[in-house]
């Protein structure tokens, strides 16, 4: 950063190198603020009145106010140790504590604590949520008090030029009080810093408090139900103090660069919107029902599918987009749109006969024997059209339930047992245990839990080896592991909300699961579908890994570039980050 000046051109050059980093613009905004309070945003002018004069001026004014009885005698604050500031101060600057640079530091009040009610209209009552981008937004003021209450809460009546600083909850939010919102009062979550006009350009103090200085106050935050800092913490907060006219130049430069950040943010949002629209259009084209053979000819669809699967990765810049890509692949697979059908395949109706024979061979009770009869679903019962050699059937007809073999074991008991075999719950392995209930590949489907709705992890998955299953996952067997793999894809592809009961505690009981209509391809096509999906999911894994790597690289590059800009005399490390 030559000559200590950071210009719009330099910010653009920096942004071009890290534009796709997820947090690039927020980090650049923070960077601009940090440069501002380090004296690296504008040149210093040796003819400016030094900050030491500002300190003498405020000391003189405070002495006058104490003598006039308008303020209490301020308590003596410890001297500033520059080692606590961690910046090189430009010539003409000083560092001081906020308590030295202001005449009053207090906080707001809660009317109801004193028996006063809020009003429908009247005097503005400012809360943290009323503040936006360093300003109090009139349209965000939703609470009011009467003039009588405002006079009663005289200590927290606001004046033009007061600075508000949140000390509870979202710590560090700050805003300048302007004439347009007066009369006004505020609550106890906001500290009132008054009388800084002798030493600060008001907007510069906001810049300082929004910069790295706010980290110092966050370090003071105390936990509990709500983070908070004390007025003493505010009193002792150290801020840099440039000459007054330099403060004005800094504020003008910050405004210029923040406006540029606004434009960059809007441009990025525009790019993301275009990507999202292109992606959504592709999804819609691929997943729309085929209602007209001329509009959706099969060769055209296959061409579109190949094009989409090749080009969508270039539109994919966020993890949520990869999740959508995975879901679309599954959706196409179970609708017969991922592969062309082979008319020589044995039709799925023959598969139903095989399943019936398999269930008959396994039957050990009259109930089991009754369950061997499989009825294909009629066209009226079918949710949608499927290829000619496919068939619709009920899930309960084509799978064999092993739910009766499940045994739940409490966490306390599992802690007393050796950790040997996988212990499965609704979303996968949740523990280990010293025994097993199953010793073959079976399909597990989550029975309950929020995952049935939010789908943060797959609902259906294959368990292999020796393992135990509790009563939060359905256990299903079938004619082969390959068939179970297809059922796994199908359950993960469809919307299960129609089969889930409850909202606070979502649950898909066995009866609901058994009623799910399943589109079954011929067995040979199922194997091809599973293989194709596996290959495409592997590509998604690679895409996800490359996106993670790119995100990490961009983040490291951004960190490196910012560090280099803040410490330009250090050995450049940009190439190492790349």
Q: What dihedral angle (degrees, nearest 10) is formed by the CA atoms of 558, 204, 191, 223? A: 20
Q: Do domains 49-242 and 348-521 have the same CATH topology?
A: yes
Residues 7-32, mean pLDDT to the nearest whole number: 73
Residues 231-248, mean pLDDT to the nearest whole number: 89
Phi, psi for residue 509 in degrees, rounded to 5: -75, 175
Residues 425-451, mean pLDDT to the nearest whole number: 95
**Which of 202-216, 250-264, 542-556 tops mean pLDDT?**
250-264
* Mean pLDDT score across all residues of the chain: 83
Residue 313: pLDDT band with limits 50, 70, 90: low
Residues 332-355, mean pLDDT to the nearest whole number: 91
Give the model's pLDDT for residue 1.
Answer: 43
Distance CA(289)–CA(462), nearest Å, equals: 30
Nearest to 121 by CA among 92, 96, 82, 147: 147
Helices (H), 161-297: 202-210, 213-218, 231-236, 244-287
Burial annotation 341-371 (CB, 10 A radius, 16+ → b, else e): beeebeebeebbeebbebbeeeeeeeeeeeb
Q: Percent of the chain scored above 70 by pLDDT? A: 80
Residue 578: pLDDT band with limits 50, 70, 90: very low
Two tokens at 210? Answer: 């929004």
Residue 222: pLDDT band with limits 50, 70, 90: low
CATH of domain 49-242: 3.90.220.20
Residue for token pair 């040149």: 43
Question: What ranges do the domains of the chain cover?
Answer: 49-242, 348-521
Give the model's pLDDT for residue 276.
Answer: 76
Give the model's pLDDT for residue 339.
Answer: 85
Does residue 320 surpass a pLDDT of 90?
no
Beta-sheet pairing, 428-433 with 421-425: antiparallel
User: Per residue in 455-500, pLDDT tens?
Assistant: 888 999 999 999 999 999 999 999 999 999 999 999 999 999 999 9
Q: Which CATH class is domain 348-521?
A: alpha beta
User: Per residue in 82-105, pLDDT tens?
Assistant: 776 667 788 899 888 889 889 999
- Residue 30 is given by DSSP the state H
- Residue 507 is given by DSSP the state B
C-alpha Rg value of the chain to the nearest Å: 34
Give the model's pLDDT for residue 190.
Answer: 92
Number of neighbours of residue 552 by Cβ within 10 angstroms? 11
Per-residue HEC secondary structure of 269-337 comes to HHHHHHHHHHHHHHHHHHHCCCCCCCCCCHHHHHHHHHHHHHHHHHHCCCHHHHHHHHHHHHHHHCCCC
Distance CA(330)–CA(88), nearest Å, equals: 58
Does residue 576 surpass a pLDDT of 50?
no
User: Across the chain, how many H-helices and E-strands are there?
Assistant: 20, 20
CB 471 within 8 A of CB 507: no
Residue 569: pLDDT band with limits 50, 70, 90: very low
Number of neighbours of residue 509 by Cβ within 10 angstroms? 13
Q: Is 340 exposed, middle or buried (0-12, 13-18, 19+ CB in 10 A)?
A: middle
- Residue 438 is given by DSSP the state B
Give the model's pLDDT for residue 5.
Answer: 62
Give the model's pLDDT for residue 122.
Answer: 93
Measuring CA to CA, how many Å separate 255 from each of 8, 132, 203, 487? 11, 15, 10, 58
User: 118: helix, coil or strand?
Assistant: coil
Q: Is the pTM here over 0.75, yes or no?
A: no
Burial annotation 3-38 (CB, 10 A radius, 16+ → b, else e): eeebeeeebeebbebbeebeebbebbbbbbbbbbbb
Greater pLDDT, 271 or 10: 271
User: Per residue in 345-398, pLDDT tens?
Assistant: 999 999 999 999 998 888 777 676 666 778 889 888 888 889 999 999 999 999
Greater pLDDT, 144 or 326: 144
Phi, psi for residue 106 in degrees, rounded to 5: -140, -170
Contacts of 482 (CB under 8 A, 6+ apart): 523, 526, 527, 530
Give the model's pLDDT for residue 10.
Answer: 66
Distance CA(332)–CA(335), nearest Å, equals: 5
Residue for token pair 């905004």: 29
**Which of 194-203, 331-340, 458-467 tops mean pLDDT?**
458-467
Two tokens at 302? Answer: 């296959």
Bond before 182 cis per omega within 30 degrees: no
């Amino acid at each position: 950063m030559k000559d200590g000046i950071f210009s719009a051109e330099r910010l653009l050059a920096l942004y071009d190198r890290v534009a796709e980093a997820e947090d690039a613009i927020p980090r650049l905004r923070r960077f601009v603020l940090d440069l501002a309070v380090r004296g690296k945003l504008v040149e210093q002018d040796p003819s400016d009145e030094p900050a030491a004069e500002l300190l003498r001026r405020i000391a003189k004014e405070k002495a006058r106010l104490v003598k006039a009885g308008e303020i209490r005698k301020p308590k003596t604050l410890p001297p500033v140790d520059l080692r606590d500031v961690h910046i090189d101060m430009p010539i003409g600057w000083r560092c001081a504590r906020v308590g030295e640079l202001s005449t009053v530091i207090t906080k707001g009040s809660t009317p109801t604590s004193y028996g006063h009610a809020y009003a429908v209209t009247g005097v503005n009552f400012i809360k943290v949520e009323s503040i936006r981008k360093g300003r109090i937004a009139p349209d965000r003021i939703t609470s009011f008090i009467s003039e009588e209450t405002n006079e009663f809460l005289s200590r927290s009546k606001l004046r033009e030029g007061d600075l508000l600083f949140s000390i509870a909850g979202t710590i560090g939010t700050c805003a300048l009080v302007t004439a347009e919102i007066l009369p006004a009062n505020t609550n106890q979550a906001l500290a009132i810093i008054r009388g800084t006009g002798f030493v600060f350009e008001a907007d510069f103090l906001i810049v300082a408090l929004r910069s790295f200085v706010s980290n110092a106050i966050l370090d003071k935050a105390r936990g509990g139900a709500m983070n908070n800092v004390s007025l003493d913490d505010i009193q002792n907060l150290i801020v840099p103090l440039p000459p007054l006219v330099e403060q004005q130049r800094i504020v003008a430069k910050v405004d210029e660069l923040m406006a540029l950040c606004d434009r960059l943010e809007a441009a990025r949002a525009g790019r993301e919107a275009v990507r999202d629209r292109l992606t959504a259009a592709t999804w819609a084209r691929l997943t729309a029902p085929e209602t007209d053979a001329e509009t959706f000819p099969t060769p055209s669809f296959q061409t579109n599918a190949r094009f989409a699967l090749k080009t969508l990765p270039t539109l994919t810049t966020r993890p949520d987009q990869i999740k959508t890509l995975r879901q679309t692949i599954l959706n196409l697979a179970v609708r017969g749109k991922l592969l062309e059908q082979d008319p020589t395949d044995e039709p799925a109706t023959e598969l139903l006969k095989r399943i019936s024979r398999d269930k008959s061979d396994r039957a050990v009770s009259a109930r089991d024997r009754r369950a061997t009869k499989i009825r294909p679903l009629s066209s009226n019962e079918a949710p949608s059209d499927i290829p000619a050699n496919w068939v619709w059937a009920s899930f309960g007809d084509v799978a064999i339930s092993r739910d009766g073999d499940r045994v739940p074991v409490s966490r306390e008991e599992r802690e007393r047992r050796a950790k040997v075999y996988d212990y499965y719950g609704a979303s996968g392995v949740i523990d280990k245990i010293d025994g097993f209930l199953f010793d073959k590949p079976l399909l597990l489907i989550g029975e309950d839990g929020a995952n049935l709705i939010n789908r943060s992890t797959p609902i259906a998955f294959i368990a292999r080896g020796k393992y135990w299953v509790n009563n939060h996952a359905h256990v299903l067997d079938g004619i082969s592991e390959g068939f179970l793999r297809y059922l796994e894809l199908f359950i993960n592809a469809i919307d299960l909300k129609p089969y889930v009961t409850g909202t606070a505690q979502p649950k898909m009981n066995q009866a609901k699961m058994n009623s799910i209509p399943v589109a079954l391809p011929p067995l040979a096509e199922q194997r091809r579908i599973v293989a194709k999906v596996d290959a495409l999911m592997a590509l998604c894994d690679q895409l996800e890994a490359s996106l993670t790597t790119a995100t990490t690289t961009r983040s490291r590059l951004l960190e490196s570039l910012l560090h280099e800009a803040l410490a330009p005399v250090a050995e450049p490390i940009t190439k190492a980050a790349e």
